[in-house]
Structure formats: C-alpha cells, structure tokens
Amino acid sequence: MNYSVLVVDDSPIVRKMVCRTLGMAGFDESKILEAGNGREALELLNVSWVDIVLSDIHMPEMNGIEMLEVMAASEALRRVPVIVISTERSTKRIEHMKALGIKGYLTKPFTPEGVRDAVMTALKGTDA
C-alpha cells in the first residue's frame, strides 16, 4: 500500500513493533517515518507528506495531546488522520482527543489486527 505513515512514540521498541505490524499488513516500510515525541513529529509533518499518524500520548518534551492541539489549529495539518495508541484510559482525556479530531484510539497492549483495522478504517475516504 502506497501510504506514508508517521509513528510517534518515545519507546523505540514500540515504534519497531508498530512498523513491523504495518509491514505485515502490506504497508511499504520504507515509507514509514518515526518520531520520538510530538515536537519531532510536527517537524516531520511540516516537511514530509504524511497520510496518517499513529501516536502515543505520554512522551517527553511534547506529549501527544499537545501535538494534537497544534495539528487541530493548523489548516495544513488538520486533514491528517491521527490514531492514538496509549495506556491512557481516562474518559475525559479520550473525549478531549476525540474533540481534537482523532480517528481512532487503541489501548496498549495492542494487537496487530487492532492496529491494521484502525489504520484501514481511518484511511477510508482519504485520497492517497
């Protein structure tokens, strides 16, 4: 599948797990970008075409919610679908992220099928 995916998590092993899952689901692993926090992700989003973002919440420097708030306020980045993968279970925080426009939410531990299905659902209707 010819999509560019950005995986955002401060844990390198989680990024590898998500990349591996996407590869098994048929995504081109050479088109997967990685960032270790929200700030790095925004820098990549500003210089690279990204079809979908998979992001953690709890990260140093800039967390996932702060990243979502910047994306929601940006005309250019608002269109990029985001799926959050986190240990977070607070209803209030999840509702806040939904209000910011996330297209999916997965709790850790995640399954490869869960990631694949959430990504495919979020990409439906996009033009990539």
Partner 1 sequence: MSLPSIDASRLHRFVARVLEETAFLFASPAEPHLLDDDDVVVELEFFGPTDGYVLVSAAKGLGPALAAGMLGGDEGDPDVLRSAEDAVAEFTNVVTGFILLQLYGTDVVCRLGTPKVMPAAVSRRAELAVHTNLLVDDAHALSVGVCVYYREP
Comparing CB distances to partner 1, the nearer of 37 and 77 is 37
Angstrom distance (rounded) from CA 30 to CA 81: 20
**Can residue 20 be called a binding residue for partner 1 (CB under 8 A)?**
yes
- State how far the Cα of 27 lies from the Cα of 50, in Å rounded to an integer: 13
User: Binding to partner 1 by residue 90, rule CB under 8 A?
Assistant: yes
Among 78, 79, 98, 108, binds partner 1 (CB under 8 A): 108
The span from the CA of 56 to the CA of 53, in Å, is 10
Q: Shortest approach of partner 1 to residue 99 CB, angstroms?
A: 15
CA-CA-CA-CA torsion sign (9, 114, 25, 82): negative
Residues at the site binding partner 1, with contacts judged by CB under 8 A: 10-14, 16-17, 20, 58, 60, 86-93, 107-109, 111
